[in-house]
C-alpha cells in the first residue's frame, strides 16, 4: 500500500465568517495536506480561511468538524453536504458560522470530539498548548450507545411505528445488547446492535434510522441485506448513505484533481467499511464520564439533537444527561425550556433549548440525524452571541 497505507479525513474550517448574502469567492484561501499520526497512518486535513479582509486572524472564529460513522468523511460528506462553504453542486452555501473556536461533531464523531476536547483542555492547563478553546458541540452524538438502543422501542412505539408485538421484539433485542455491554463484551455488543437494527427494520417495514418520517429504499432494507456479513451490513446502513454516487463522483473527480496530493491507491470512500470494522470494539463504549470531566473543568458543552432521529434518539440523550455528576445538573433540570423560531419560518417554533452555566441542550424540531446547519447556527447565535 506504500506510504499512505491507512488514511482518514478530518475537516477543519478556519474562521468562516457571517455570510453577507454575496457568493463565496472561488479564489478564497484554502490549505490541505496529510499529517502522519503514526507509522503507516496518515490523516487528511482541509483548512478554509475566512474571506474577511479587515479582521486579524486571531479575532476570527475557528471551527473543527468531526464526522460520524465511524468511517464517514468530514472532507467529503461533512464538507459538501453539511457545513462547508460550497455545496455538492459547488454553489456557495448560504449558512455560515459566527461563533468562537469550537469543536463541532456529529454522531460517532461526538465520541472523538469529547475525547479531543478533554486532551486539549489538559494541554491548555499544562501550558503545552496555547488556544482560546471555547467549547464543544455534540450533535446527535453517540455518547451513550446503550441508552440509544434501549429507547428505540419506546420511541418507535410512541410514534406509531411499532405495535405491541414489535415493541416486545425490539426490547428483547435491546436487552441482549445491554447484557453484552454490562459484561464489557463490546465487540459482541456491536454485533448485537446490528441484530437489533435488523429487528427494528423488520418490524417497521424499513424505517430510516436517520429520519423516522422516511423509509429505507428496498436495496438498503433488512431483507435485501439479510445474508450480508455484519461489517458490510453496518457499513451499508450507516456509511453507504454518506457516499452518494454524485458525491463520490465529485470527490474522486474534480476534488481529487484540485487537491493534487491523493495517492493513486487511495479512493475516496474506499476505506469506510474497514474503518467501521476496526472500531467495532470501541463502538458501544460510553464516554459519559468524559463529558462530565469537561463540564466540571468549566468547558462549554452544547448538545443538539434532531426530533426525528432514531439512531441517536433524543430520549436516549436525555437519559444519560440525567445521570451526569456535574454539580450544575440539579439547577439545569429545574429550568423550563425556551422556544425558538425556525429561521426559515418566522412565527413557527423550530427548536427548544435549556442552558445553565456551561451546559446547553437544544431540541431541534423536524430534524433528523443530520441537523440543518442553518437551524443550529441560528439558534446558537440567538442564545449565545450578544
pTM for this predicted structure = 0.73
**What pLDDT sits at residue 292?**
97
**What pLDDT sits at residue 44?**
73
**What pLDDT sits at residue 26?**
43
**What pLDDT sits at residue 12?**
44
Residue 24 has pLDDT above 60, yes or no: no
| Residue 195 confidence class, pLDDT cut points 50, 70, 90 | very high
Name the CATH topology of 2-143+284-384.
Rossmann fold (3.40.50)
**What pLDDT sits at residue 22?**
27
**What pLDDT sits at residue 8?**
38
Mean pLDDT across 72-78? 52
Instruction: Tell me the C-alpha distance between 324 and 289, whole Å.
Output: 8
Determine how many CB atoms are found less than 10 A away from the CB of residue 127. Answer: 7
Backbone angles phi, psi at 231, to 5 degrees: -60, -45
Please confirm, yes or no, whether 369 is among the known catalytic residues: yes
Helix (H, G, I), strand (E, B) or coil at 234: helix
**What pLDDT sits at residue 58?**
61
Residue 19 has pLDDT above 50, yes or no: no
pLDDT, tens digit, 9 for 90 and up, residues 81-116:
555 555 555 565 565 443 356 788 888 888 888 988
- The catalytically annotated residue of 105, 107, 141, 144 is 107
Closest by Cα among 138, 107, 83, 145 to 299: 138
Mean pLDDT across 196-214? 93
Least confident interval from 180-184, 251-255, 353-357:
251-255
| Residue 16 confidence class, pLDDT cut points 50, 70, 90 | very low
Please confirm, yes or no, whether 164 is among the known catalytic residues: no
Closest by Cα among 379, 377, 383, 382 to 61: 377
Taking a C-beta distance cutoff of 8 angstroms, is the pair 149, 317 a contact?
A: no
**What pLDDT sits at residue 107?**
82
| Residue 130 confidence class, pLDDT cut points 50, 70, 90 | confident
Mean pLDDT across 289-308? 95
Residue 187 has pLDDT above 70, yes or no: yes
Please confirm, yes or no, whether 42 is among the known catalytic residues: no
| Residue 374 confidence class, pLDDT cut points 50, 70, 90 | very low
Residue for grid cell 417554533: 349
- The catalytically annotated residue of 169, 309, 313, 342 is 309
Looking at per-residue confidence, does 56 or 331 come out higher? 331
Residue for grid cell 444527561: 321
Q: Which helix or strand (DSSP H or E) is residue 348 part of?
A: strand 345-356
Where does the chain hold its CATH 3.40.50.1820 domain(s)?
A: 2-143+284-384
Return the percentage of the chain with pLDDT > 90, whole number.
39
Residue 153 has pLDDT above 90, yes or no: yes
| Residue 7 confidence class, pLDDT cut points 50, 70, 90 | very low
Closest by Cα among 155, 164, 169, 154 to 211: 155
Residue for grid cell 476534488: 255
Helix (H, G, I), strand (E, B) or coil at 13: strand
pLDDT, tens digit, 9 for 90 and up, residues 232-256:
555 556 555 555 667 777 777 787 8
**What pLDDT sits at residue 344?**
75
Looking at per-residue confidence, does 326 or 366 come out higher? 326
Looking at per-residue confidence, does 375 or 262 come out higher? 262
Burial class (CB in 10 A: 0-12, 13-18, 19+), 381: middle
Least confident interval from 102-116, 141-155, 284-298:
102-116
| Residue 25 confidence class, pLDDT cut points 50, 70, 90 | very low
Cis peptide before 225 (omega within 30 of 0): no
Amino acid at each position: 500500500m506504500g506510504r499512505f497505507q491507512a488514511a482518514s479525513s478530518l475537516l477543519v474550517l478556519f474562521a468562516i465568517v457571517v455570510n453577507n448574502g454575496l457568493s463565496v469567492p472561488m479564489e478564497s484561501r484554502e490549505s490541505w495536506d496529510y499529517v502522519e499520526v503514526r507509522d503507516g497512518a496518515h490523516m487528511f486535513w482541509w483548512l478554509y480561511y475566512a474571506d474577511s479582509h479587515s479582521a486579524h486572524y486571531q479575532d476570527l472564529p475557528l471551527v473543527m468538524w468531526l464526522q460520524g460513522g465511524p468511517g464517514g468523511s468530514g472532507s467529503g460528506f461533512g464538507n459538501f453536504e453539511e457545513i462547508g462553504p460550497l455545496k455538492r453542486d459547488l454553489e456557495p452555501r448560504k449558512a455560515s458560522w459566527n461563533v468562537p473556536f469550537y469543536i463541532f461533531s456529529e454522531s460517532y464523531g461526538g465520541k472523538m470530539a469529547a475525547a479531543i476536547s478533554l486532551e486539549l483542555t489538559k494541554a491548555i492547563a499544562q501550558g503545552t498548548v496555547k488556544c482560546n478553546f471555547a467549547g464543544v458541540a455534540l450533535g446527535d452524538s453517540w455518547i451513550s450507545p446503550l441508552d440509544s438502543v434501549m429507547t428505540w422501542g419506546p420511541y418507535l412505539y410512541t410514534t406509531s411505528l411499532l405495535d405491541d408485538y414489535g415493541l416486545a421484539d425490539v426490547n428483547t433485542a435491546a436487552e441482549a445488547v445491554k447484557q453484552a455491554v454490562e459484561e464489557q463484551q463490546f465487540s459482541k455488543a456491536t454485533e448485537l446492535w446490528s441484530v437489533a437494527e435488523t429487528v427494528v427494520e423488520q418490524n417497521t417495514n424499513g424505517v430510516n434510522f436517520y429520519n423516522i418520517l422516511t423509509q429505507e429504499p428496498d436495496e438498503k432494507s433488512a431483507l435485501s441485506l439479510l445474508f450480508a456479513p455484519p461489517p458490510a451490513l453496518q457499513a451499508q446502513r450507516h456509511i453507504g448513505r454518506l457516499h452518494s454516487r454524485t458525491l463520490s463522483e465529485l470527490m474522486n473527480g474534480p476534488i481529487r484533481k484540485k487537491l493534487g496530493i491523493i495517492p493513486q491507491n487511495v479512493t475516496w470512500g474506499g476505506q469506510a467499511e474497514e474503518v467501521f470494522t476496526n472500531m467495532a470494539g470501541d463502538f458501544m463504549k460510553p464516554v459519559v464520564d468524559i463529558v462530565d470531566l469537561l463540564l466540571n473543568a468549566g468547558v462549554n458543552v452544547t448538545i443538539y439533537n434532531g426530533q426525528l432521529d432514531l439512531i441517536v434518539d433524543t430520549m436516549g440523550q436525555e437519559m444519560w444527561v440525567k445521570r451526569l455528576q456535574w454539580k450544575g445538573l440539579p439547577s439545569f433540570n429545574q429550568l423550563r425550556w425556551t422556544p425558538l423560531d425556525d429561521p426559515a419560518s418566522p412565527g413557527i417554533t423550530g427548536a427548544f433549548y435549556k442552558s445553565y452555566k456551561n451546559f446547553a441542550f437544544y431540541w431541534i424540531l423536524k430534524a433528523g440525524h443530520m441537523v440543518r446547519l442553518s437551524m443550529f447556527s441560528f439558534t446558537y447565535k440567538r442564545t449565545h452571541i450578544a
